[in-house]
Chains A and B, each alone.
Chain A
Amino acid sequence: PSVGGAQVNVLEVRGERGLRNTAIVHVSVVFRTPTHLWVLQVSYPEWGLFHTCACVCVCVFPQVHVKMADEAVCVGPAPTSKSYLNMDAIMDAIRQTGAQAVHPGYGFLSENKEFARRLAAEGVTFIGPDTHAIQAMGDKIESKLIAKAARVNTIPGFDGVVKWRRADECRCVCLLGYPVMIKASAGGGGKGMRIAWSDDETREGFRFSSQEAASSFGDDRLLIEKYIDNPRHIEIQVLADKHGNALWLNERECSIQRRNQKVVEEAPSTFLDPATRRAMGEQAVSLAKAVQYSSAGTVEFLVDSKKNFYFLEMNTRLQVEHPITECITGLDLVQQMIRIAKGYKLQHKQEDIPINGWAIESRVYAEDPYKSFGLPSIGRLSQYEEPVRLSGVRVDSGIQEGSDISIYYDPMISKLVAYGASRADALKKMEAALDNYVIRGVTHNIPLLREIIVHPRFVAGDISTNFLPEVYPDGFKGHPLSAGDRRELLAAAAALHIAAQLRSQRFLGEQRVSAAAQERRHWELCLELEKSVHMLAVSHSRGTYTVEVDGEKVEVSGEWNLASALLPLSINGSHKVLQCLTRSPAGDISLQYLGTTFKVRVLSVLAASLSKHMPEKLPEDTSSILRSPMPGTVVGVAVKPGDTVAVGQEICVIEAMKMQNSMTAAKTAKVKSVHCKTGETVGEGDLLVELE
């Protein structure tokens, strides 16, 4: 049975480079909601003849991965604790299907030693490392001690669990000095992680981190260490077999992060020289060997500006960003994991591991990048087209048009990977991929991704984990339009408007239509973009619009397919792909241009001149009302009507996508009314609290 989707794309990417994979067809893990867990039922010992089975929860029954699998087993309802984290249900599924091996995917039970142990007890192969390694590396405190012993560079810090007691807290802080990083001992993926610059923040960070850690990992132990300011996050992929052999598969740079979660990753890193790369690789391998590691794993390092590197943690599973390593090394990591699990020796030697070309991965999230670089959004993907027909582009996703992005899981839509011969080539392909990616129905972070990959600092490789807050100190505001951009955008909007106008006058088979309107070839339009008004003259002949904007002529031509989500245009001879999100009869057009969505109002000169008489509708005063910035669950309400709150005081906490977000007062005032209760589910824009 063949398994489509992600893996097929790997083959395509490789096909281009002549590195066609061996005949193996296997199941890969498609991340996001549904397929965090695949159960592989090995029917035949030969590679390539798998029977695959997906464990899914109720809410994702008919989705893509289920179709990809030969068999699907429902393991419970949407909340993860009842489905993907419900070990009993999953063990039942394994027994029921007679699965002989389990690939745990990422997240959920992938690094759960108990799960690995129970599988072992039932004689089912766990496609991953031994329980011992999971346990050793899963605990941040223990892993640090082991790393130290294995002569791996580690970050100075307090080696032990910090209890929720003032004494410890102060002791740590005295020892290290601010800033410090508070982390969940069992954590990963940025969850349960807070940076503190003062005693107050330390206290608050403790509270949040322990709550988050408890809800995400069921373990609220925390540790604290020196926070390395402005570091790069560079990780080494390792591969080790059960015979004591280990390899490093070069690095991935994952410095572009928001709230300690990765956004853009690349392999290789622009920052490492061969000597540093080798030093890091060798330390990573020595750590893997120290814990008798087998399977694929990742050793994460923080690298400071002087190329000093410090061990951060080891992830004993496949990483989300593994495709970029696959691109540059030509190795199929899932295949390697299965081989290793079967007990085979590694096929490659260290000197066989190449760096071929450059690969970049963008994590496409369902979140609003204009709110602290990404607050989760939910919705139904009303339209969804992946840019898979572009060459050198791979999209790993577990969703399709019509899928619901729910509050129960990480808000990731897909991993978008561009692979090229050089970094510049890969970046160009990524640009095109982002421009051609159609996502409607949920807010997504393509505007931010598109800006990051063209930012001069990113292009120059001058990045750190603080890239986003440094580059956008006042928050992300979308693509800043240059004068030339503005002209192009206005011309495209005007041409689109006229194309739509002309079409609305074309009736088929109707005798009673006056031809006068259609003979028109010249229009005067008034366009409003970002509060500035422009007068445009448009003339049209055979699909080409000549638009005069601010005294300059812009030629726009295209197919003008008004039903298509993509709007491929030739603007002054250069090819641009825009997307038209909405087009209202009153002339409001939303265009996605260079990743960012711009609202343009296109009116005839007459309509524009009459619009000045229209009354201004005052927007709601938002300082006295608190609305939920995203859909989620209310986990705590700190105020009641009549309380007085100060600016910045916490009013309530909303948990969404497993992150807790503190909602604070925008002004000092008395609480007028509270519209939410602990445990309640709220939607984006729902009224939470009103102040007087």
Chain B
Amino acid sequence: MIGCKRSRLLHNSRWYSISHLSVQDRIEEKRRAALVGGGQKRIDAQHKRGKLTARERIDLLMDPESFVEYDMFVEHRCADFGMEADHNKYPGDSVVTGQGRINGRLAYVFSQDFTVFGGSLSGAHAQKICKIMDQAMMVGAPVIGLNDSGGARIQEGVESLAGYADIFLRNVMASGVVPQISLIMGPCAGGAVYSPALTDFTFMVKDTSYLFITGPDVVKSVTNEDVTQEELGGARTHTAVSGVAHRAFENDVDALLNLRNFFNFLPLSNKDPAPVTECHDPSDRLVPGLDTLVPFESTKAYDMLDIIHGIVDERDFFEIMPNYAKNIVVGFARMNGRTVGIVGNQPKVASGCLDINSSVKGARFVRFCDAFNIPIITFVDVPGFLPGTAQEYGGIIRHGAKLLFAFAEATVPKITVITRKAYGGAYDVMSSKHLRGDVNYAWPSAEVAVMGAKGAVQIIFRGKENQAEAEAEYVETFANPFPAAVRGFVDDIIQPSTTRKRICRDLEVLASKKQTNPWKKHANIPL
């Protein structure tokens, strides 16, 4: 709009007048001011910290020349503490907002500008973010937040807090409507952390980003703990310990380029299908390596990623939370070009058992896929839920129920492959036939049973002398895919090398799957 008016001003002499000229000058001046944010000195300081400016980040994230900026002339409205002074006003305030294209597809973006008042959130700042979020929901396009903010604009008091709440509300409203991604590229503290926490994915930049409720100084004064920023809320902490962030990248450039790649996996909204890209990997490709992957001894580990990489298109797997609850692997990949969500127990870590963290990690991922029409492929090798007081006291019952809930309520195409163990309740949980799995396969190495041979024999044959013989009998009866197959709980026993071919074919069939859950206001997942 603005650009259009401007050209008419320049080229149509009838519009020419002194007052217009001065407006024109002011427009140009404001625009110039907006483009330099907090000024060259602060930009240099930002660069010195190894960080890019808000605009540089958008330039890298979006396709060249596709970004359309909104609200470049918005200024904060604070009149206290000398904030009303002209030198304290920055056109656009401390955030850059707008929409653009990533590989040709629409995305809304806001990028907090640390050079203006440390990227602090004013009422105007919040209003700008809300505006693009509202529009994103209306047109059905993802929202990407590039967070780099010192926190609330203290001078504005409650107005700033109101701004946060306005954003939180929209995060909640947009949840499940359009994908929301947060990339933390600097500090993000206090109330500000709850916006990323409400979004679907939170990524961080190593060494330059922090997320915490209160910083190290407050921690020291309240709990007397000595902790650095990095330890308290750095990328390592949140990707490996707390599970708050889903992945971390080396630096700003690396993070933004990776985000572009990640964006290609996502549908634009809950009304759009999962994207299908051009695929060069034959859908009927056999994967001979899988036939020898699962070791004979059921106690021996193997790497679930070997299966995933072998099966998906071009070995391209975008893992979500690779360093957290590593006993379950989740992430996005493509099958014959179509985005799929992959969930797999990881026998390499804690035998692939389900515990509190892995259940929550899996559940959240499954729910995202279900909300955005992404088919779910589940690879099962699970010896059960992790026993022990730590888990019971921590509430494994209700946390484990989350994963069960998520798989059960999901109505997207669900394909399950039991590669080895599927024991006990964990068998039910892992997208079993009973939870409306569409296609459930077993590899010849599959063993579906209530528990492993040793434990089972101790119960069934309690007191019996020849335990070894009893164990062999149990193994003969249950340590194979037949008990499940004869009951139709698995649809077929397949040769591992054909898994890719089978899944690609099933996905084609299931593309038109329609299934709805009973009407409800919303379900009551055991949070």
Are B101 and A517 touching (Cβ within 8 A)?
yes
**Residues of chain A within 8 A of B253, CB atoms compared:** 586, 603, 607, 610-611, 614
Taking A506-B277, A586-B253 as contacts, is the C-beta distance between A401 and B288 under 8 angstroms?
A: yes
Q: With a CB–CB cut-off of 8 A, which chain B residues contact A380?
A: 289, 303, 306
Stretch at the interface among A560-568, A647-655, A660-668: A560-568
Size class of the contact patch on chain B: 35 or more
A505, CB-defined interface residue at 8 Å: yes
Q: Is B469 interfacial (CB-CB < 8 Å)?
A: no
Chain B interface: which of A57-65, A122-130, A256-264, A329-337?
A57-65
Residue in A61, A505, A606 whose Cβ sees the most chain B Cβ within 10 Å: A505
Contact A507 B105 (CB under 8 A): yes
Q: Residue on A with the closest CB to B262?
A: A585
B438 at the interface (CB under 8 A from A): no
**Known contacts A504-B277, A585-B261, A586-B258; 8 further A-B pairs (Cβ under 8 A):** A503-B277, A503-B278, A506-B277, A510-B272, A512-B106, A517-B104, A614-B254, A617-B207
Q: What are 27 sample pairs from A and B whose C-beta atoms fall under 8 A apart?
A: A62-B292, A382-B310, A382-B315, A383-B315, A401-B287, A504-B103, A505-B104, A507-B105, A508-B276, A510-B272, A510-B275, A514-B63, A517-B101, A517-B104, A518-B104, A562-B314, A563-B279, A563-B314, A585-B262, A586-B257, A587-B257, A607-B257, A610-B52, A610-B252, A613-B47, A613-B252, A617-B250
- State A183–B233 Cα separation when bound (angstroms): 59
Cα distance, A509 to B63, chains bound together (Å): 21
Of residues 295 to 315 in B, which have CB atoms within 8 Å of A's CB atoms? 296, 303, 306, 309-310, 313-315
Q: Are A401 and B60 in contact (CB under 8 A)?
A: no
Question: In whole angstroms, what is the CA distance A447 to B302 when docked?
Answer: 29
B 326-367 contacts with A by CB, 8 A:
337
Q: Number of residue pairs across A and B with beta carbons under 8 Å?
A: 130
Q: Quick one: closest B residue to A606, CB to CB?
A: B59
Q: Residue B475 at the A interface, CB < 8 A?
A: no
> What string of 1s and 0s marks CB contacts (under 8 Å) between B84-109 and chain A?
00000000000000000101111000
**B288 near A504: Cβ-Cβ < 8 Å:** no
Query: Across the interface, do A513 and B261 meet the contact criterion of CB distance under 8 Å?
Result: no
User: Nearest CB to that of A617 among chain B residues?
Assistant: B250
B60 touches A610 (CB 8 A): yes
Bound: A523/B304 CA distance, A: 39
A516: interface (CB < 8 Å): yes
Chain B residue nearest in CB terms to A504: B103
Q: How far is the CA of A604 from the CA of B59 in the complex (A)?
A: 11
Residue of chain B at shortest CB distance from A588: B254
**B14: CB under 8 A from chain A?**
no
Q: Please, what's the 1-or-0 string for B229-273, where 1 marks a CB less than 8 Å from any CB in chain A? A: 000000000000000000000111110011011101000100010
Of all chain A residues, which has the CB nearest B310?
Answer: A382
Q: Which residues of A contact B510 (CB under 8 A)?
A: none
Q: Tell me the smallest distance from the CB of A76 to a CB of chain B, in Å.
A: 14
| With known contacts A610-B253, A615-B207, A562–B280 Cβ distance under 8 A | yes
**Which of B258, B280, B288 meets A561, CB within 8 Å?**
B280
A66 to chain B, nearest CB (A): 10
Contacts of B250 in A (CB 8 A): 586, 614, 617
Q: A402 at interface (Cβ–Cβ under 8 A)? A: yes
What per-residue 1/0 map shows which CB atoms of B458-499 lie under 8 Å from chain A? 000000000000000000000000000000000000000000
With A510-B275, A606-B60, A607-B253 as given contacts, are A402 and B50 in contact (CB-CB < 8 Å)?
Answer: no
A177 to chain B: closest CB distance in Å?
54
Interface size on A, residues (CB 8 A): 45
Per-residue CB contact flags for chain A residues 579-608 toward chain B (1 = under 8 Å, else 0) read 000000111000000000000000110110
**Residue B155 is within 8 A (CB to CB) of chain A in the complex:** no
Q: Which of B66, B253, B257 has the largest count of A CB atoms less than 10 A from its CB?
A: B253
A504 and B292 contact, CB distance less than 8 A: no
Known A-B contacts A62-B291, A607-B60; the reply to A515 vs B280 at CB < 8 A is no
Q: For B296, give its contact among A58, A381, A400 (CB under 8 Å).
A: A58
Closest A residue to B278 using CB positions? A506
Contact across chains for B257 and A585 when beta carbons are under 8 A apart: yes
A402 in contact with B293 (CB, 8 Å): yes
B508 at the binding interface (Cβ < 8 Å): no
Given contacts A62-B292, A382-B309, A585-B258, contact A516 B278 (CB under 8 A): no
Chain B residues at the A interface, C-beta cutoff of 8 Å: 47, 50-52, 56, 59-60, 63-64, 66, 101, 103-106, 207-208, 250-254, 257-258, 260-262, 264, 268, 272, 275-282, 287-293, 296, 303, 306, 309-310, 313-315, 337
Question: Do residues B279 and A516 form an inter-chain contact, with CB atoms below 8 A?
Answer: no
Q: B383 to nearest A CB, angstroms?
A: 22
Q: How far is the CA of A488 from the CA of B253 in the complex (A)?
A: 27
Q: Is there an interface contact between B51 and A505, defined as CB atoms closer than 8 Å?
A: no
> How far is it, in angstroms, between the C-alpha of A562 and the C-alpha of B293 when the chains are bound?
26
Contacts A503-B278, A508-B277 known; A614 to B104 CB distance under 8 Å? no
Which of A509, A586, A587, A604: most chain B CB closer than 10 A? Answer: A586
The smallest beta-carbon distance between B496 and chain A, in angstroms, is 9
Which of A508, A513, A562 touches B104 (beta carbons < 8 Å)?
A: A513
Q: Given A606-B59, A611-B253, A615-B50, A507–B277 Cβ distance below 8 Å? A: yes
How far is B292's CA from A610's CA once the two chains are assembled, in angstroms? 46
CB distance from B76 to the nearest CB of A (A): 28
B343 to chain A, nearest CB (A): 21
Please tell me which one of the listed residues A400, A507, A514, A563 contacts residue B313 in the complex, with CB atoms under 8 A apart.
A563
Given the interface contacts A382-B309, A614-B50, does A400 sit within 8 Å of B288 by beta carbon?
Answer: yes
Q: Is the CB of A517 within 8 A of B103?
A: yes
Q: Which residues of B contact A110 (CB under 8 A)?
A: none
Q: Which of chain A's residues has its CB closest to B252's CB?
A: A614
Q: How long is the Cα–Cα vector from A401 to B203 in the complex, in angstroms?
A: 35
What's the minimum C-beta distance from A402 to chain B, rounded to whole angstroms? Answer: 2
B295 to chain A, nearest CB (A): 9
Q: A546 at interface (Cβ–Cβ under 8 A)?
A: no
A37 → chain B closest CB, angstroms: 20
User: Which single member of B59, B280, B296 contacts A563 (CB below 8 Å)?
Assistant: B280
B257: min CB distance to chain A, Å: 4
Is A557 an interface residue when CB atoms closer than 8 A count as contact?
no
- Complex: A510 Cα to B271 Cα, angstroms: 12
Indicate whether A35 reaches chain B with its CB closer than 8 angstroms: no
Contacts of A585 in B (CB 8 A): 257-258, 260-262
A56 to chain B, nearest CB (A): 12
Task: Give complex CA distance A196, B21 in Å.
Answer: 91
Task: Point out the residues of chain B lying under 8 angstroms from A517, CB to CB.
Answer: 63, 66, 101, 103-104
B56 closest partner in A (C-beta): A610
Nearest A-chain residue to B288, judged by Cβ: A401
Q: Is the C-beta of A406 less than 8 angstroms from some C-beta in chain B?
A: no
Residues of A within 8 A of B268 (CB): 512
User: How far, in Å, is B333 (CB) from chain A's closest CB?
Assistant: 13
A508-B338 Cα distance, complex, nearest whole Å: 9
B337 to chain A: closest residue by CB: A508
Cβ-closest chain A residue relative to B279? A563
Give the shortest distance, in Å, between A57 (CB) and chain B (any CB). Answer: 12
Q: Does A295 contact B (CB under 8 A)?
A: no
Q: In whole angstroms, how far apart are the Cα atoms of A545 and B272 in the complex?
A: 34
Q: Give the nearest-CB partner of B249 in chain A.
A: A586
**What string of 1s and 0s marks CB contacts (under 8 Å) between A376-387 and chain B?**
000011111000
The B-contacting residues of A in range 509-558, CB under 8 angstroms, are 509-510, 512-518
Expressed in whole angstroms, the Cα–Cα distance for A380 and B281 within the complex equals 21
**Bound complex: CA of A615 vs CA of B254, how far in Å?**
12
Which of B279, B288, B314 is close to A402, meaning CB atoms less than 8 Å apart? B288
* Given A380-B306, A381-B289, A512-B105: A564 and B280 interface contact (C-beta under 8 Å): yes
Q: Which of A58, A504, A506, A514 contacts B66 (CB 8 A)?
A: A514
- B281, closest chain A residue (CB): A563
B455 shortest CB reach to chain A, Å: 25
Q: Which residues of B contact A510 (CB under 8 A)?
A: 105, 272, 275-276
Residue among A400, A403, A585 having the largest count of chain B Cβ atoms under 10 Å: A585
Minimum CB–CB distance from B42 to chain A (whole Å) comes to: 14
- Given A563-B313, A585-B260; A516-B292 close (CB under 8 Å): no
Q: How far is the CA of A516 from the CA of B102 in the complex (A)?
A: 11
